Amino acid sequence: MNEVFTPSALTAIHTITGGILRSINNIAIASLMYSTVRKMQVVNEETVYQANIETGI
């Protein structure tokens, strides 16, 4: 089974959200949308930070 989020992406999500579940969900969805638009196969740390900047979550 292929992982969608790299381990560093998961760490970035935790860092950004502080572990707050609703925030985790919001940034995860934003990261998935960001990577889909760019036709990326996985969500990496840079993707998470870029999605956070673009969405302001």
Give ∠ CA 9-48-4 in degrees, rounded to 5.
Answer: 50
pLDDT band at 1 (very low <50, low <70, confident <90, very high): low
* Residue ranges covered by each domain of the chain: 7-55
The label of the residue with tokens 């990261």 reads 31
pLDDT digits (tens, 9 = 90+) for 3-47: 999 999 999 999 999 999 999 999 999 999 999 999 999 999 999
For 39, list phi and psi in degrees, rounded to 5: 55, 40
pLDDT score recorded for residue 2: 84
pLDDT band at 56 (very low <50, low <70, confident <90, very high): confident
